[in-house]
Amino acid sequence: MIQEINRHITGILAERALDWRSCYTNVTLQPPDGRTVVCESSDAGVVDELRIRMGSSAAGGGVRFVVLPADTDALPSGLIAANSVADVRRAPLHTSELVTQIVYGDGVEPLKEHGEWYLVRLDDGYIGWIRSWHLSELSDEKQKSYAERAAHRVAINHAVVHQSPVGDALPVTDLVVGTALIAEDCGRRGWRAVRLPDGREGFIATRSIEKLPVGKRTSRDALSATGLRFLGIPYIWGGTTPMGFDCSGLMQRIYRLNGTLIPRDADQQALFGRERPPGDADDIATGDLIFFGKSTQQITHVGMVLSEGLFLHAYGQVRVGSMDPSSHLYEAQLVADWRITRDVVSYLK
């Protein structure tokens, strides 16, 4: 029975262009008797289609279908990241693959609780597991209220919130670029009092923060400037912050800091934006995303165009490469594997 169900699920996901990143599925035997098969999914459409395909074989009551979050689960009404960086893993284990990350204050939708882990959906649609100690409960209403009052964000790659407005004061927490804050005058020059979304308070150097941009369109020059500030940061599989980036996590963070949310992984990003002719270095612009792989169906790497044939990417570390064979930065193997170019900036206008 379980093999039959999993076979159906594989087919349904393929037909709907879904995978584990965007649709959680799990098939288990229900204790204590081990006779009931429980089929869980975060996608109601997948469950409905599975019911149809199972037909009479599920009619005897031996199969229970569950759409997550289940009404019977006592889940928090909302959760936010409560550390500067919170790891999202593929399974509820510290040894499981790091698939992506969120930053302090980012809201997630809880789908399921398993021991000290939560299965969550992120704002880009990604699904994964986060250890409960990285999260704080905060309702959607309170998240919205905080976002309306948070007029500042961290402006440098790494910042520290201190317990008092002096540089050698003990830390409250560290923060990474882009983290939204409520910042107010504290009466001490060079410092602002800040309130964090989980209620913690402290002081931060004024030079570490900036006003949140409001209503600004994504600028090609701004994308380039944002990307170059991350030069030298090491490659980390699943990384999306200045603590460490993978190639697509770097692109998503650059665009996010400039007001645009793009998909998480390179193969997903390769489907987003206006497509340009492939392999033409004369028909690209700053901020375009260029994708590499053995074929258009096997995209494994992404970079962002800078200017004059240069591009930024995370490859061992965040670095600049070139498409020009005469340049000492020439990336011969990558250029040979260049398959797709996407213009996100024009697509958004």
Give every residue of the chain whose pLDDT is below 70, as ranges.
32-34, 56-61
Same domain, yes or no, for 236 and 297?
Answer: yes
The answer to whether residue 72 is domain-embedded is no
Q: Rounded to an integer, what distance in angstroms lies between the CA atom of residue 42 and that of residue 22?
A: 9
The answer to whether residue 36 is domain-embedded is yes
Same domain, yes or no, for 306 and 226?
Answer: yes
Question: What pLDDT sits at residue 268?
Answer: 98
Angle at 254 between CA 248 and CA 257, to 5 degrees: 135
Going by the DSSP 8-state scheme, the letter that residue 117 receives in this structure is E
Q: What is the dihedral of CA 46, 48, 52, 58, to 10 degrees?
A: 100
Question: What pLDDT sits at residue 210?
Answer: 97
Question: What pLDDT sits at residue 33?
Answer: 65
The answer to whether residue 103 is domain-embedded is yes
Which CATH number belongs to the domain containing residue 238 in this structure?
Answer: 3.90.1720.10
The answer to whether residue 73 is domain-embedded is no
The answer to whether residue 118 is domain-embedded is yes
SS3 of residue 180 by DSSP: strand
Of 123, 143, 163, which closes a domain? 143
Inter-residue contact 152 to 179 (CB < 8 Å): no
| Domains contained in the chain, number | 4
Same domain, yes or no, for 89 and 188?
Answer: no
Q: Rounded to an integer, what distance in angstroms lies between the CA atom of residue 195 and that of residue 138?
A: 15
Question: What pLDDT sits at residue 65?
Answer: 92
Same domain, yes or no, for 25 and 109?
Answer: no
Which residues form the catalytic set? 247, 301, 313
Sequence-distant (6+) residues with CB within 8 A of 240 are 100, 101, 102, 246, 249, 250, 252, 253
The answer to whether residue 63 is domain-embedded is yes
The range of the structural domain enclosing residue 326 comes to 220-348
Sequence-distant (6+) residues with CB within 8 A of 117 are 92, 129, 130, 131, 132
Residue 32, preceding bond cis, omega within 30 degrees?
yes
Same domain, yes or no, for 62 and 175?
Answer: no
Question: What pLDDT sits at residue 61?
Answer: 63
Question: What pLDDT sits at residue 335?
Answer: 95
Angle between helices 2-15 and 44-54 (to 10 degrees): 130
Same domain, yes or no, for 342 and 225?
Answer: yes
Question: What pLDDT sits at residue 55?
Answer: 82
